[in-house]
Amino acid sequence: MSAIVPIDLESQLALGRDSPDVCKEVRGRAGVIACDASDRGVYWLVLHPRRDPAEDYVVRIHWETYPHAPPSVKFATAIGGRLEVTSAWPLISGYRPSSFDICQPFTREGFALHPEWQTTTERWPVTGNVFLWVAQILQRDLDTRYEGRSG
């Protein structure tokens, strides 16, 4: 697990501006959102797949800088819980429970594995509410690409 780097004031202000839209989106689908009290760049979302609404997936989204770079996105056992438990992860193509990362162009981990994405149509968007965009991708993947819970 990587160390948490405190987020800068500009990023905190931008997240404060954009997080109400994320709250509305997540809560509108019976989810939960929480900001980590020890690091204002860490948010926890509890999301549910549409076809299995009783399943809770806790997602930790860690921004080092916002909105200029993608966040680290990991699944956890609970809000503030462990990140290195494969059963916390959904089975979705590109989500890698055995590596504890998501190899997709909306995560820091994906861009670390594919630096070429920075120069393609997959490059990180720095305009608009990218926090909401990330939350919507996670929910859409749970709704349309979900194959169950990892073992």
Cβ partners under 8 Å of residue 28, min gap 6: none
Residue 147 reports pLDDT greater than 70: yes
Nearest to 134 by CA among 99, 90, 102, 112: 102
Residue 96 reports pLDDT greater than 90: yes
| Tokens coding 81 | 């819980």
> What is the rounded CA–CA span in Å between residue 120 and residue 78?
35
> What is the rounded CA–CA span in Å between residue 38 and residue 88?
22
**In this predicted structure, what is the pLDDT of residue 47?**
98
**In this predicted structure, what is the pLDDT of residue 63?**
96
Place 5 in a pLDDT band, splitting at 50, 70 and 90: low
Residue 151 reports pLDDT greater than 90: no
**In this predicted structure, what is the pLDDT of residue 3?**
55
Structural domains present in the chain = 9-143 (3.10.110.10)
Residue 135 near residue 22 (C-beta atoms within 8 A): yes
Question: What confidence tens digit (pLDDT) does each residue in 16-69 have?
Answer: 999 999 999 999 999 999 998 888 899 999 999 999 999 999 999 999 999 999
Average pLDDT over every residue of 90-100: 97
Question: What confidence tens digit (pLDDT) does each residue in 97-144 have?
Answer: 999 999 999 999 999 999 999 999 999 998 999 999 999 999 999 999
